[in-house]
Chains A and B, each alone.
Chain A
Amino acid sequence: MKQKLVIIGNGMAPGRMLEHLFEVAPDAYDVTIFNAEPRVNYDRIMLSPVLSGCKTFDDIVIHGDGWYVEHGVMLYKGHRIAAIDRAAKTVTSEHGETVPYDKLVIATGSNPFIIPVPGHDLPGVLSYRDLDDVEAMLLAAQSREKAVVIGGGLLGLEAAAGLKERGMDVTVLHLMPTLMERQLDPSAGHLLRHELESRGIDIVTEARSARILGDAKVTGVELKDGTVIDASLIVMAVGIRPNIALAQDAGLEVDRGIVCSPTMATSDPDIFAVGECVEVDGRVYGLVAPLYEMARVLAGHLSGNPSQRFIHAETPTRLKVTGIDLYSAGDFAEGDDREEIVLRDAAAGIYKRLILKDNRIIGVVLYGETADGSWFYDLMKKGTDISEMRDTLIFGSAYQGGAPLDPTAAVAALPLDAEICGCNGVCKGTIVEAITSKGLTSLDEVRAHTKASASCGTCTGLVEGLMAATLGDAFNPNAVKPICACTDLSHNDVRRLIRAKELKSIPALMQALEWKSSGGCAKCRPALNYYLVCDWPGEYADDYQSRFINERVHANIQKDGTYSVVPRMWGGQTTADELRAIADCVDKFGIPTVKVTGGQRIDMLGIRKEDLPAVWADLGRAGFVSGHAYAKGLRTVKTCVGTDWCRFGTQDSTGFGVRIEKFMWGSWTPAKVKMAVSGCPRNCSEATCKDVGVICVDSGYEIHFAGAAGLDIKGTEVLGHVKTEDEALEHIVALVQMYREQGHYLERIYKWARRIGYDEVRRQIMDDASARKAYFARFVFSQKFAQVDPWSERVSGKDKHEFKPMATIDTLQAAE
């Protein structure tokens, strides 16, 4: 039997540990994760770009919901573990869920430290640790009022820069005389201060906070010297404390962190710990590189490889504020036995300082130009004697051995074991090897295969340089993602060119757009077929062989090669006659499984392909048409009982749902489209997680779009409010047509809308009546050709060959 592995906390460290574990021992454990945060594993480092608006949360998710499903991991989101019972070997969550373990991993990370001054618990005082903090800051930033950030370290400054980007007036209060004093020497600290001030951020150093002012919410902060600074938001970023309470309560050995051996074991041999909550050899850590190393070691132990040990290593620091280049590593305190080399170029805003001991680099501070960070760090790590190049050392790798090199050549000059990505500990050789052996050509691919530049992203420039050095002209950093390996064109390019060049068949398109393969592949062909169907209704002859089997035979293929059949039940309504016809059909064809689907209708599973036309014939006689449960097209319109029966119903939600479905069935779309209409805001048909949803209210219809409840979960956006059912239908149809014309194949509405912007959708559908009416008209036109029931067509003989074998060879006979 599989062992049970339970993990407390779902941060970056255990996430990485599981990646290693599934790679070497995918079937060793049943994994259960409890996470106090109500979400999947994401790149915490990248919260600052989310705060500043450079990225969205979706961009920084490391493992989406699908990943957990794929690896059979049970993830409890929003479940904080309250207690570990070591005797019974169980953990219990605050919601009362108790789960047994064979091996337990504690990965509770750190808690932000809150200075216990009076007023620290007022609303408006935030820490900076997770997405909730960022969302609260973004909400506060909408007021565009004043914010104070307490703490001038890495996190504090990233928060300050982000809030400034978002339009707030920001003051940073820092206890020490210079900023980031733990990573920077005073000179670099001053340059940094100067740069931030020139961006309009106020900085007060040697500032001691005395109390936070306000009654019901924050109004400001008062310093020990009596100064008062007004603020409606205060962010405390003064440090972190390993989160050890749970381990301590369970009687495990703790000191500053949870005390672990270099094999990541705690004082209980069945309990391990990983991440910021850990203390090894008296040290605790706050950057991901060492945590990822712990993750690797722990995965080794859990998969039965006992030889790995965690070894301490210095980690360089970088600040992730756009436009500020800063790098520091090692030790830069002054001392009698130390020498230094300094380069200042005030005009260019460059400052570099190397600290040497016995002709070896022991510390590096770079400001303004950091490209050589990896090179210096490499010399430092290896303890290279630099006396030979001492005179030119500070100018960096490009100046060693004569003429200065261009940046690509500088990366090319790095030794193969030079570390490029500090977060993930990836060295140059690994990247070059992956590029050449796997034929990688894009940054995304290099990230996927090596993890380099996949965490904080500050080494992206180096990785791109390395790709340029390795691939030469074949590397184009701005290249868009092609549809597939058969072309260099993106989905957008192809859609544009189909219209511009009036391409009306797949062979014509492949010829004109210089497809690289003969006949495309299973990725591009269905996409092209859809684009042509959508753009040339009535003219384009559907290429049946370019459709996935389900759309070719109008049923869903099952794992054993049989098919399932889902007839349409308009708006989820059915009748005794319909049910009787289904029952008869099930008996007649010996259909093994009948199931009520999640889409308010009935699925008959396990039908032999040969029987499909006969099944459809029987169903058709009872009035059924295809439910398109297999189509990239309109699937279901779920409804609730609405004014017909419900005491709360405000409009005829059932009737409207049926009307939408009857209007729109048969249409092909980039990916499936699911809708719902709820009769009131109690929302019993779950309209607010659909591609398109309607919430009926007394005053009319609230139209929603861009929800998701499959691989991703996302509530809908509001499109707008309209008064009548006719208007609601026009808006919904226009929205879907806009998506049909712009979506990339297999891109659901929520992804398309995010890509082009929700406001743009609202502008075209809500505000621009002529655009809306034009979309509506184009949809209506294309329906003339699309609303044909594929089942009855096949009952009348279309594609006959699909449903019977070409020949049956009697092998015995043949042998005579």
Chain B
Amino acid sequence: MNAIETKWIAVGSITDIPREGARCVEAGALRIAIFRTVDDDVYAIEDRCPHKGGPLSQGIVHGGCVTCPLHNMVIALESGEAQGADEGRATVFRTRQRDGLIFVSGADIASAEARQPVSTAA
């Protein structure tokens, strides 16, 4: 077992993110959007909309959802699931908060990384 899989990885403090906003964390080829809701809940979702890959971190955050900036799909922050009539699910990562610090599950990052398409260098 790889060490990362058992770790919680600190990515910053909650005050780094505006309320009802998001910031990104880069992990290799993976881009993770960390959202902070109005109630200071924190969620981590891959920064790729299940529709056409739109950067969810750039969307408007409302309640427990974010609206994708490209074509307005509404994604639930907790499950990554598209809401309403749309279908699709963005990859979510477990998070924890301790002493104002945000941690993302290393196991989730590792398994998402394993699913990333490998780019063959030319």
Contact = CB atoms under 8 A, between A and B. Distances in A.
B63 interface: yes
Given A805-B23, A805-B25, A814 B72 contact: no
Contacts of B61: 545
A613 B34 CA distance: 22
Contact of B58 (A544, A546, A557): A557
Given A811-B28, A814-B9, A557 B70 contact: yes
A548 B60 contact: yes
Contacts of B55: 557, 561
Given A811-B28, A811-B113, A801 B63 contact: no
Given A522-B67, A559-B70, A811 B20 contact: no
A559 B52 contact: yes
A50 B118 CA distance: 61
Contacts of B20: 519, 545-546
A807 B113 CA distance: 17
Contact of A811 (B4, B38, B70): B4
Interface string B50-86: 0011110011111101010110101000000000000
Contacts of A525: 60, 62
A815 B110 CA distance: 9
Nearest to A552: B58
Contact of B3 (A519, A546, A547, A816): A816
Given A549-B58, A559-B70, A814-B7, A517 B24 contact: no
Given A557-B70, A815-B4, A519 B63 contact: yes
A239 interface: no
Contact of A519 (B7, B21, B38, B59): B38
Contact of A546 (B2, B9, B60, B69): B60
A521 B55 CA distance: 18
Contacts of A548: 60, 69
A561 B9 CA distance: 26
B7 A522 contact: no
Contact of B18 (A545, A808, A809): A545
A814 B63 CA distance: 33
Nearest to B3: A815
Contacts of B38: 518-519
B54 A809 contact: no
Given A522-B72, A561-B55, A809-B27, A517 B16 contact: no
Given A545-B20, A561-B55, A811-B27, A806 B67 contact: no
A635 to B, nearest CB: 20
A546 B62 CA distance: 9
Interface residues of A, number: 29
A807 B3 contact: no
Contacts of A553: 58
A643 B4 CA distance: 71
A522 B113 contact: no
A808 B20 CA distance: 22
Interface string A493-530: 00000000000000000000000011111100110000
Contact of A526 (B19, B54, B60, B113): B60
B26 A808 contact: yes
A814 B25 contact: no
Nearest to B61: A545
Contacts of A809: 9, 11, 25-28, 109
A549 B25 CA distance: 18
B39 to A, nearest CB: 8
B12 A806 contact: yes
Contact of A806 (B4, B16, B19, B63): B16
B47 to A, nearest CB: 8
A517 B83 CA distance: 15
Given A545-B20, A806-B17, A807-B25, A814 B3 contact: yes
Contacts of A807: 11-12, 25-26
Most-contacted residue by chain B among A553, A801, A806 (CB, 10 A): A806
B45 to A, nearest CB: 14
Interface residues of B, number: 43
Given A544-B18, A811-B113, A519 B58 contact: no
Interface in B29-45: 30, 34, 37-38
A526 B55 CA distance: 19
Most-contacted residue by chain A among B2, B20, B58 (CB, 10 A): B58
Contacts of A549: 58-60, 69
Nearest to A815: B4
Interface in A259-302: none
B109 A518 contact: no
A811 B109 contact: yes
B18 A518 contact: no
Contacts of A816: 3
Given A559-B52, A814-B9, A815-B3, A522 B26 contact: no
Nearest to B33: A806
Contacts of A815: 2-4, 110
Interface string A535-564: 000000000111111001100010101000
Nearest to B63: A519
Interface in A549-594: 549, 552-553, 557, 559, 561
A695 B55 CA distance: 43
A814 B106 contact: yes
Nearest to A524: B62
A544 B63 CA distance: 16
A522 B106 contact: no
Contacts of B70: 557, 559
Interface in B81-108: 106
Contacts of B18: 544-545, 801
A806 B24 contact: yes
Contact of B69 (A557, A801, A808): A557
A176 to B, nearest CB: 53
A519 B62 contact: yes
Nearest to A522: B67
A227 B20 CA distance: 79
B21 A808 contact: no
Nearest to A809: B27
A511 to B, nearest CB: 13
A807 B69 CA distance: 22
Nearest to B69: A549
B62 A520 contact: yes
Contacts of B19: 545
B62 A522 contact: yes
B111 to A, nearest CB: 12
Contacts of B7: 814
Interface string A794-816: 00000001000111110100111
A459 B70 CA distance: 39
A702 to B, nearest CB: 40
Contacts of A547: 60
Contacts of B12: 806-807
Contacts of B11: 806-807, 809
A160 to B, nearest CB: 46
A519 B4 CA distance: 36
A23 to B, nearest CB: 14
Contacts of B30: 811
A815 B23 CA distance: 23
A559 B53 CA distance: 9
Contact of A545 (B26, B28, B60): B60
A545 B21 contact: yes
In the A-B complex, the 4 residue pairs with the closest CB atoms: A522-B67, A806-B23, A545-B20, A549-B58
10 contacts: A519-B38, A545-B60, A552-B58, A557-B58, A805-B23, A806-B25, A807-B25, A809-B28, A811-B28, A811-B109
Given A545-B60, A808-B25, A811-B110, 10 more contacts: A517-B63, A519-B38, A520-B63, A521-B62, A549-B69, A557-B69, A561-B58, A805-B25, A806-B34, A807-B11
Interface of B: 2-4, 7, 9, 11-12, 16-21, 23-28, 30, 34, 37-38, 52-55, 58-63, 65, 67, 69-70, 72, 74, 106, 109-110, 113
